[in-house]
Structure formats: C-alpha cells, structure tokens
Structure 1
Amino acid sequence: MGKKIIIDTDPGIDDILALLLALSASPEEVEVLLISLTFGNIEVKNCLRNAVSMFHIIEREMQWRRENGRPEGFGALRAHRPILAVGAEDPLEDQKLLADYFHGTDGLGGIHESHPHLTATKAWDHLFTPTADSEGIEPVADCTSLDDHEFIPSKLPAYQEILRALRDNEPDSVTLVAVGPLTNLALAAAEDPETFLRVKEVVVMGGAINTPGNVTPMGEFNAYADAVAAARVFALTSPNPHTTVPPTKGDRLPPYPKNLSRQLTLRLFPLDITLRHNISRGQFRKAITPLLEGGSPLAEWVDAFMGHTFRTLERLHPGHVGDDAELSLHDPVCVWYAITSDDPKWVYSAKSPEDIRIDTLGQWTRGMCVVDRRNRHRIEGDDESASDHGLWLSGRAGNRIWRMDGSPAEETFGAVIIDRLFK
C-alpha cells in the first residue's frame, strides 16, 4: 500500500506539475486521499477550474494511451479517486496577494481562452457549492455527471475535509503536502488541534532562509500571502506554541490549548532548496515534441501553459532566454519528497530542527523567515528575561522546524518530472 497523502494547493503552473507527479505515481508508492484548494497564485475559483480541467485532460490522455498501445500510467489515480475540496478564498488577516502576474489570471497562462478544447466543459461547479445541510455529509461520490471522472467532489470546506481525512485514518499515517498559503491548515488546526496533530508530517513549500525572497527582499510568496497562517502552523512544532504564535487583530481564530498531546513534525522546503530543482525550456521542448506530434492531450495541455511560463521567465529574468530559460520546480519537489521520503539522500540542514519563525507585523518583512544568528548561551526556563526578548534562547520555547537542504535528484529533477508524467 502506498503512502497516504493530502495535497493542499493553489494550482498554478508548478502546482499542476506537482499534482500530476503525485497522480502518475504507482499505487504502491502513494495514495492521494484529498486535494484541498486554497487561494494563492490565483483566486480559488480559478484553482478549481484548473484542477477539474487537469482531471479532464488525464482522462483523455489515458484514453489516447490505450488507443495507441501505450501503458495508461496514473496508477495512483486509477487505484484511488481523491476527494477534491474548495477552501480558503482569503488570508486570515492580511491583504490578499495573488501571483497572476506570473501564472496568468486563470493560473495557467490564459489556457482556457487559448485552448478551450482542453478545458472541462461539463457543469461541475454546483457539485462544490455548500448547502444548508452540508455539515457532516459525505462527499458527492455518485453524481451522474461524474460517472467517468477521476475525482470525488466535496461540498465541505477544505479544512473540514482535512480533519475528516485525519480522523478516518490511523495517527501518523497521513502526510500533508502544503504547496500554497497555509490558510486551510491554520483553519483546520484552530478547529481541532488534536485531530490536526494526528498527521504524520506536514511538508511545506515556503519561506526563504539564506536566499532572497521572491515577492519582497525577505518574503517568499506562500509565507507572505498568509503570514499569520504560516506562523500559526509553525507554532505547533513548539513544545509551547504560545511562545511563537502571532498576535492577531481579531478573534477569528482562538489560541491553542496549553497542553497539547504532541508537537507537529514540519518539513520545510524553502527557496534555498527548491531553486536548485529546475527544468529548462530546451529539456522540456526535446521531450515534448514527439508527444505533440503523436497527439498526446496531456502534452498539448502542458506545452500550452509551459510556453507561457518560459516567455514570462524571459521577461522577468533578462539573460535567461531561449532553451536556457529555466523554471524552478518548487511544488513538485515537495511531492517528490512525499513519494520518496525513505531515500537516505534527502538531507536536512545541519541545524535542524531549527527555531524558524514567520514575521507577521513588519512593514518590510512580512512573511520573512526569522532565525537567530547570534552566538548566545541557552537560558533555562521559559520566562522571558531582559537578555532573551522573544524567548529565543529558552530550551522550552521556540519552533522546531526540519529544514530540507538536499535531495536525491537536484541535478536531474527535470528529467524525473518528464519521465514520470509522459513515459
């Protein structure tokens, strides 16, 4: 039986590649229980259209492969249909930031207008609309319009589906891969922290430690987009979450109970590692051309939004032109970890677990990953002192984050993506 995972995502170009990587795995490698959607790269309603369109394309691709004598692939998907749930539309407190300047207003470079024949056309949106009696209902599994589809729509908010999946499975059996803003996770943890802590580990794409941010000099997009949510999730790694949980502007989310049964295990994939996992336009073009000539629906779909991506990269990063333009595969790296976490070539930073905190209040530093670079002696106790403002030196305070710093496929990850998705 494969590893059970939940993917919380805001698809998004590299998010779609991450989802395809998970669904194309073998059932012995992974079982995708739930895909929960959040705002982030784009509005959540566009994330839903992209996710449904992805399943539409996968169905067409598997049919094309059968008709051409090729292996169907997507074993994990064929073995287990994941629930698809719609989540947070806005951050907990901050002004909303989207990344449509990079991904396009629809999240996939305008593909729904440029390639309408590749967009799902069935009436599916009402299947996700909450009703007055949605609380506690089962996901819609047997709707006539979805007889041939590969997902199960849910009318419940995504954070409630996350909690349901964790209740329905044994403790420490589900990995939650979060590759967007952490709003859904923060809502789930606030609703029922003990159930949330049944998770085996949370794998987070976010933050920047020793490299610049990508939306501000200090801020990486996911951490910046909902800094309060990120800080609250990070706080659950602490022996005493109250020492790092951020102050809030209102009463939307309650404080955590003082005596939680356990600490959260959080694997952080900041820009420091994800920027080392890339695919070049030349590498992609060489692999995709024969598949386009053969009529692969998946190749046509991915080529359409990747073409937009490489053109955007050329505009944003002068000097990276033509076949040398490279896309960093931020989100797929996290899914790859979830699939291959037993590989001893995954490497943590030498200081792990580290006390990494998310700044939520700074004018210029919102979303910044703050670490203590001072060479100071530890202080016993958990009471704040004049020499330890913020409890950075107390052994019973602060977060405990496992920061990833090396992988089995840094130099070859582009080839891994191509091989997994198309061969």
Structure 2
Amino acid sequence: MAPQKIIIDTDPGVDDMLALLLALSASPDELELLLISLTFGNINIENCLRNTVSLFHVLDLEKQWRSSRGLRTGFSALENTKPIVAIGADRPLEEQLLAADYFHGLDGLGGVHTTAPHFTPSETWSHIFNSTAATPAPPNFTPSSTPAHLEILRILAENPPNTITIIAVGPLTNISLAATHDLPTLLRAKEVIIMGGAIDQEGNVTPVAEFNHYACAYSAAHIYALTSPHPSGTLPIGSRFALNQAPAPEKPLKLSIFPLDITNRHLLSEAVWRAATADRKAQGSPLAQWCDVFVTATFKKMKEMYLQSTGGGGEAARRDTVDISMHDPLCVWYAISALARGEEGWVVHEGRDIRVEPAGQWTRGMCVVDRRPKNVEENLAEAVKLGDVGVWLHRGHGNRVRQVVESPEGTDRKFGGWMLERIFDVVL
C-alpha cells in the first residue's frame, strides 16, 4: 500500500513537537510528510520557526548518536523525503492576537533554548529561508521562502486529487488563506484533519472555546463552512470571504475534527515518560535530552495548575501522577492508524452541523452545534417559514463536519506509551 501523503500545519509548542516526531518516526509505507507549514499560535511565528529548525538539528544529532552505538537510527520517513518547511501566517485574520506562552513558555518549548542552548542551531539558520541567501541546505529538510499557504496549494496542484491529507493542529489561518486564494485547488485535498473545538465539554481558554479556534475564529468558521454544499449560507455575516458572493464550490471539503472531547482523554503520564526516556537520556541521546527539557517543564506546569485548582490539596500532583493530553499527536495517529493501516475501531459522527462563532463577546471560537432533530422537509422555503434564522434546519445548506468521537477500544491511556515507543525506538 502506498503511504499517505500528508501536510502538517502547526504552531510548534510541546504537543505539536511530539506530533511532528510521531509523523517523522512513521515507516515509509505509512506516511510521507511533504510539508510543514508554520503558523502563529502557541507562540509567535519566529519562535515556531526556531523550534522547527531545532527539531531537525536534534534529529540529525540523534541519528548520528544512534548509528555510533549500533542502534537503529529510526525516522526512516526522512530517508525518502526531505519535508519542506514554510513560514505562514503571523497573526489572525480579523481578531486580536492571542498566544499560549503562559503554558508552553515564551519560546513554546518550556525555555529549552535557554536551558539547553547547545541543541539550538546558530542564528544563521534563519538565512536559509531567504531566497537570495547563499547558505548550505540543511541535511534533512528543505527550507522555502514561499508563504506557507502557497506551498500548500502548490503541493495540492502537483499531486493527483484526493491524495494529500492536511493535518492542521494550530489556528486554521494558513488553510483559510489557501482557500481564499484558490478554493478549487484546496478542495483537491483528500481530507483536512484538525485538532480544535470543544463540543460537549468546556473549552480550555474560555468556558466554551478551545485555543486553536479562539486564536483565529474567523478562519475556523471559514473552513467549517466549506463542508456545506452552500458555504455562503454558513459563513460569518459581514466577513471578508469571497464565498459570500461566489457560487457554491463543486464539492464540499471533507473535514474531520478532533475536539477536546476526544483529545483530553488521550494521555501521557510522567511515569510513562520516564520509563521511555530515562535510560536514553542517561546514555546521551540528544533527542531524549532535548525533549526532556520541555516535556518535564510541561509536567511541572500541569502540577502547578492542578494544585492551584484544588487549593493546594491535589494529592495527584504531589504523587507525580498528572497527565498531559496528547491533543496534536492524536491527529497524526489517526492518519497512521485509520488512513494508512486501515485499522478499525475509530468512531466518527458524520455530517454534524457545527459552526464556529467568530466574534461573540463571550462566545468567540465556540462550536455551535445544531442538536435538533432534522424533521423539516428538504426545501428552503419551509425552513424560512418556520422562522429558522440562518436556515439551520434546511439539511441541504448546513455544515457537514465529521467529528471523531472514539479511538480503538482501550487505547486512551496507552496512547502516550505507544507514541514514545515509536519516537525513541524503545519497548515499554
């Protein structure tokens, strides 16, 4: 079976980095990572770029370290394809900029560039993204001076339709820019998989909003609308998207969402982290040492937050049993498990009419779901007559989002260990 060709659109903080590592540790017959398109989000775009370049620098050191000890070098995906890295949006479309540096640290990786500066390449790395710079190409990725949304469109145009899957684990600004620039080409994507939203549980930045959708709510509303046969009917009123006046596209976008409802249940415990990485770290593995800085910082942050939320009475935090939710890696695992391997057990609610509120004073980034029974006849006039503002009840006009609600049975808490086995080539 041919590998799944993917694009990862990301704002590399801690779980984004683990998602990238999981993708790069896939076998060549599972995934082929063609492009990493960077967007603002967890931190600013400059730090996103530095984190990504540092990742590839550390991977080069890790492969040399493993080879010198007769270990399998791993990361075979890099042997066949050097992914392109492209810089994308540095701010949201129409809203105030929000970052998550309060959680991920000012550099997005728990201060790793200060704590372990020997793993950060020289500042000259930034020159390789300048098309006029005469800088040697890095060994394991290809820098691009083209804006990320245009690189996304180029790759989609150069490959047959329905062969490229986009995995978007940050704000959806780059994907929205690509759709605005050339919607027919974006719709050549086989599927867009996103980490974002909160459906039946509270948000993580407001009572109702998840961070990625809050950070650029207009782009999220735009991409959700593209799942409708008539996107102009579900786009935000007064937004600048050309679709408000354009005819309906030839086909809707296939959009699969991983909201907090499912990602919060897929965990990495501190005990599992130590079991997988302690020996490698002690033996001098550059990857284990580098990752341990920001993963340990994240566990520390989680403990602080847990103790604050419990008024200092959190026994779990004191017993080192806090967990980190693996939001972004879960999307990559879906691409490996469901798309590449065809494994069963994934449960998806098809065709949900979910829309993103872009501008509410209290509800920016909220996923609004039509939970009413669809018992109105299939015609627009009937829905309007019943006073259905926004024509929610007209089944031909709503959004059609695929919500992933379950992974294969029994894997929620096992996922973190399975991921680390792949990344560090260990057996737990």
- Which of the residues 201, 213, 217 maps onto 1:211? 201
- 8 A Cα contact 1:5 1:34, kept in partner: yes
| Contact map agreement 2:198 2:209 (CA 8 A) in 1 | yes
235, 258, 273: which is aligned to 1:284? 273
2:223 is aligned with 1:233: yes
SS at match of 1:335: helix
Does the alignment pair 1:357 with 2:355?
A: yes
Preserved contact between residue 204 and residue 269 of structure 1 (Cα < 8 Å): yes
Tell me: CA distance 1:71–1:122, structure 2 relative to 1, closer, same or farther (3 Å).
farther
Inter-CA distance 385–149: structure 2 relative to 1 (3 Å threshold): farther
- Letter of the 2:141 partner, please give it: F
TM superposition shift of 1:253: 5.5
Structure 1 contact 122–145 (Cα < 8 Å) conserved = no
**Who is 2:235 aligned against?**
245
Between stretches 205-214 and 352-361, larger displacement belongs to: 352-361
Q: Distance in 2 between matches of 1:55 and 1:256?
A: 43
Distance 1:421 1:158 in 2: 26
Distance in 2 (alpha carbons) for counterparts of 1:395 and 1:170: 31
Q: Secondary structure at the match of 1:190?
A: helix
1:123 aligns to what SS in structure 2?
helix
Distance 1:337 1:256 in 2: 36
What is the deviation of 1:84? 0.2
Deviation track 1:223-246 (CA, whole Å, cap 9, x = no partner) reads 111110001011110010011111
Which one-letter code corresponds to 1:339 in the other structure? Answer: I
Contact 2:374 2:395 in 1 (8 A): no
Match of 1:260 in 2: 249
Q: How does 1:35-50 map to 2 (within 5 A)?
A: 35-50=36-51
Name the CA distance, whole Å, in 2 between partners of 1:117 and 1:37. Answer: 23
Report the 3-state secondary structure (helix = DSSP H, G, I; strand = E; otherwise coil) of the residue aligned with 1:353: strand
Partner of 1:340: 337
| Distance in 1 of aligned mates of 2:104 and 2:193 | 23
Instruction: Give the aligned partner of residue 406 of structure 1.
Output: 406
Residue of structure 2 in register with 1:22 after alignment: 23
Q: CA deviation at 1:166?
A: 0.2
Distance (whole Å) between structure 1 residues aligned to residue 393 and residue 237 of structure 2:
20
Over 3 Å counting, the alpha-carbon distance change for 1:248 and 1:94 in structure 2 is farther
Counterpart position of 1:137:
none
- Correspondences of 1:294-373 after superposition (within 5 Å): 294-318=283-307, 319=314, 320-321=316-317, 322-341=319-338, 342-349=342-349, 352-373=350-371
Amino acid at match of 2:264: L
CA drift of 1:394 comes to 0.2
Residue pairs, 1:72-151, within 5 angstroms = 72-121=73-122, 123-129=124-130, 144-146=135-137, 148-151=138-141
Q: Distance in 1 between matches of 2:331 and 2:26?
A: 14
State the AA in 2 paired with 1:230.
A
Cα pair 1:9 1:179 within 8 Å, conserved: yes
**Structure 1 residue 122: deviation in Å?**
5.6
Deviation at 1:126, TM superposition (A): 2.2
Q: State the alpha-carbon separation in 2 of the partners of residues 16 and 396 from structure 1.
A: 39
What is the distance in 1 between the residues matched to 2:153 and 2:245?
A: 16
Alignment partner, residue 175 of structure 1: 165
| Deviation digits for residues 134-169 of structure 1 (CA, Å, limit 9, x no counterpart) | xxxxxx9xx6522x5211000010000000010011
Match for residue 184 of structure 1? Answer: 174
Q: Distance in 1 between matches of 2:229 and 2:421?
A: 42
**SS in structure 1 of the partner of residue 171 of structure 2:** coil
Identity percentage over the alignment? Answer: 50
> 1:361 Cα deviation (Å)?
2.2
Instruction: Tell me how far apart the structure 1 counterparts of residues 374 and 9 of structure 2 sit (CA, whole Å).
Output: 38
Distance across 2 between alignment mates of 1:30 and 1:256: 38
Is the CA contact 2:231–2:248 (under 8 Å) kept in the aligned structure 1?
A: no
Residue 340 of structure 1, CA deviation = 1.5
Greater CA drift, 252-261 or 230-239: 252-261
Number of residue equivalences: 409
Cα pair 2:231 2:243 within 8 Å, conserved? no
Structure 1 residues 245-269: Cα deviation after superposition (integer angstroms, max 9, x where no partner): 11245x4766463131111000100
Q: 1:96 to 1:218 in 2, by over 3 A?
A: same
Write out per-residue CA displacement over residues 312-346 of structure 1, whole angstroms, 9 at most, x where no aligned residue: 10111222414201000000000111112221111
Consecutive unaligned residues of structure 1, counting only runs of 5 or more, are 132-139
Distance 1:255 1:153, change over 3 A: farther
Distance 2:174 2:135 in 1: 29
Helix, strand or coil at the partner of 1:204: strand
- The Cα of 1:378 is off from its aligned counterpart by 1.8
Displacement, 1:396? Answer: 1.0
Query: So what's the TM-score if we normalise by structure 1?
Result: 0.94
Q: 1:254 to 1:375 in 2, by over 3 A?
A: closer
Cα distance in 2 for residues equivalent to 1:248 and 1:339: 39
Which moved further from structure 2: 319-328 or 222-231?
319-328
RMSD after superposition: 1.6
- SS of the residue corresponding to residue 344 of structure 1 reads coil
Partner of 1:71: 72
Q: Decide whether aligned partners of structure 1 residues 256 and 273 sit closer, same or farther in structure 2, where only a CA change above 3 A counts.
A: farther
Whole-Å Cα distance in 2 between the matches of residues 254 and 380 of structure 1?
23
Contact 1:241/1:256 (CA < 8 Å) preserved in 2? no
Partner of 2:421: 419
